[in-house]
Amino acid sequence: MKSMTKAHDLGSEDEILTDHDYDGIKELDNVLPPWWLYGFYITIAIGIFYYVQVFTNSEKYSQEKEYAAEVEQGKKEVEAYKAANPDLFNTDNIELLTDAASLNKGKELFASKTCTACHLADLGGSIGPNLTDDHWILGGGVKNIFNTLTKGGRPGKGMIAWEGTLSVEERQLLASYIISMQGTTPANPKPAEGDIIWSK
Q: Contact 177/146 with Cβ under 8 angstroms?
A: no
Q: How many Cα atoms occupy the beta-carbon half-sphere of 152 within 13 Å?
A: 10
Categorize the per-residue pLDDT at 102 as very low, low, confident or very high, splitting at 50, 70 and 90. Answer: very high
pLDDT in tens, 121-143: 999 999 999 999 999 999 999 99
Classified by CATH at the fold level, domain 100-197 comes out as Cytochrome Bc1 Complex; Chain D, domain 2 (1.10.760)
pLDDT in tens, 8-44: 676 677 777 788 888 888 887 777 888 888 899 999 9
- Cα 4 off chain centre by: 48
Q: Helix, strand or coil for residue 140? A: coil
C-alpha to C-alpha distance for 94 and 174, rounded to whole angstroms: 12
Note the pTM of the prediction, 2 decimals.
0.59
Does residue 182 carry a pLDDT above 70?
Answer: yes
Domain-wise residue ranges, the chain: 2-56, 100-197
Average pLDDT over residues 64-93: 84
Q: How many CB atoms lie under 10 A from the CB of residue 76?
A: 10
Q: In terms of Cα–Cα distance, which of 142, 134, 146, 116 is closest to 193? A: 134
Does residue 84 carry a pLDDT above 90?
Answer: no
pLDDT of residue 94: 87
Residue, of 70 and 2, whose pLDDT is higher: 70
pLDDT of residue 88: 66
The DSSP 8-state label assigned to residue 120 in this structure reads -
Mean pLDDT (the chain) is: 87
Q: In terms of Cα–Cα distance, which of 177, 47, 45, 58 is closest to 111? A: 177
In single-letter form, the type of residue at position 30 comes to: N
Backbone angles phi, psi at 65, to 5 degrees: -70, -35
pLDDT of residue 89: 66
Q: How many CB atoms lie under 10 A from the CB of residue 173?
A: 23
Give percent of the chain above pLDDT 90.
47
